[in-house]
Amino acid sequence: MPYTLEQSKRNCQQAREAMKRARQHKFALGAFNLDNQETLIAVTRAAAKHKAPVLVEVSHSEVEMLGLENVRDLVDNYKAEYGVEMYINLDHSPKVESAKQAIDAGFEFIHIDISQADHDASDELIISRTKEVVDYAKKTGAIVESEPHYFGGGSNKFTKAFDYQEIKKTFSTPEGAKQFVDATGIDTFAAAVGNLHGSYPVAKKLDLNLLKQIREAIDCNISLHGGSGTPGHYFEDAVEIGVSKININSDMRIAYRTTLEDVLKKNKSEYAVIKLMDEVIDAVQAVVESKIASFGASGKAKIY
């Protein structure tokens, strides 16, 4: 059912209060990708068990499969059933129009990422289109997130280790972060400090000193994308520094697929796959619970 403007405004205000709480009380909201109903159930159950505020997020491919309004309805149904504090994020939207549609559908968080579709997009183009979304989001108060350049990797499990020295070339800088935030008016800056999309055969490491410098340079929220495969102690330090949103995707997908493959092998004569999903949901839920703990978000939910 379509959201009214007043419903959207109320939810977005609650989302802003959640981000403010995160900064004040030194925790981060986990942003967990929603691939299907099973992953939504896993995230919701984890949030309920730990009384933690969470985001569920969809990117372009999930939106095409599920639809913005269907996602909104699904999330609201589970949010009400389990009594959790949960918001929706449109992740890495490559187009202004797609971001506007999510705002109209009542999404509380919008990540506009112009460089996702065009890795060579000019600074001027990225800034102008990001500003367009920021201006449109004032309609509901949705929280807008962005970054000034392409963020590497992919939501998958990779067999080849990444080159850390190459990744360092794409790190954010305090000066660049401030210039971008000032030019666009975004609410959340997606920092690149060693975080990288995807899962790799080597652990990721975050440049915490750089993160501190970025925190000192800007007043808005800071998010970390590409959290999968990152040792938990980095998250604990990051939230102390002032990160208030951390994205997790690949770790959940790996748990989902590997568990499903194992369950299917053990139940070769069962074709009602829905009967086999409990173990899969439990595996994904375990991943989400571990991240919530690392983010310091347990017990931080506010139920309206």
Give the start-to-end residue ranges of the domains of the chain. 5-250+287-294
Which pLDDT tens digit goes with each residue over 25-71? 999 999 999 999 999 999 999 999 999 999 999 999 899 999 999 99
- Residue from 35, 91, 187, 251 carrying the catalytic annotation: 91
pLDDT tens for residues 62-103?
A: 999 999 999 999 999 999 999 999 999 999 999 999 999 999
Q: Is 153 left (phi over 0), alpha (psi -120 to 50) or beta?
A: left
Q: What was the pLDDT predicted at 156?
A: 63
Whether the pLDDT of residue 183 is over 80: the answer is yes
- What integer is the mean pLDDT of 199-228? 90
Cα–Cα distance for residue pair 30/155, rounded to 1 Å? 16
CATH superfamily name and code, 5-250+287-294: Aldolase class I (3.20.20.70)
Q: State the CB neighbour count (10 A cutoff) for residue 186.
A: 26
The pLDDT > 90 percentage for the chain reads: 82
The pLDDT tens digits of the residues spanning 103-160 come to 999 999 999 999 877 888 899 999 999 999 999 999 999 999 999 976 666 666 666 6
Would residue 91 show up in a list of annotated catalytic residues for this protein? yes
pTM: 0.94
Distance between CA atoms of residues 81 and 261, nearest Å: 29
**What integer pLDDT is reported at residue 3 of this predicted model?**
86
3-state SS string for the chain: CCCCHHHHHHHHHHHHHHHHHHHHHCCCEEEEECCCHHHHHHHHHHHHHHCCCEEEEECHHHHHHHCHHHHHHHHHHHHHHHCCCEEEEEEEECCHHHHHHHHHCCCCEEEECHHHHCCCCCHHHHHHHHHHHHHHHCCCCCEEEECCCCCCEEEEECCCCCCHHHHHCCCCCHHHHHHHHHHHCCCEEEECCCCCEEECCCCCCCCHHHHHHHHHHCCCEEEECCCCCCCHHHHHHHHHHCCCEEEECHHHHHHHHHHHHHHHHHCCCCCCHHHHHHHHHHHHHHHHHHHHHHCCCCCCCCCC
Non-local (6+) Cβ contacts of 71 within 8 A are: 34, 58, 62, 63, 88, 105
| 104-117 pLDDT per residue, tens | 999 999 999 998 77
pLDDT band at 169 (very low <50, low <70, confident <90, very high): confident
Q: Is there a contact between 106 and 262 (Cβ–Cβ < 8 Å)?
A: no
- pLDDT at position 159, please? 62
Res 272 pLDDT > 70: yes
**pLDDT at residue 198 is higher than 80:** no
Lowest mean pLDDT among 19-28, 39-48, 162-171, 248-257: 162-171
In this structure, which amino acid lies at residue 77?
N
> From the CB of residue 284, how many other CB atoms can be counted at a distance below 10 Å?
27
Contact 209, 251 (CB under 8 A): no
**pLDDT, averaged across the chain:** 93
Q: Are 112 and 130 in contact (CB under 8 A)?
A: yes
235 has a pLDDT exceeding 90: yes
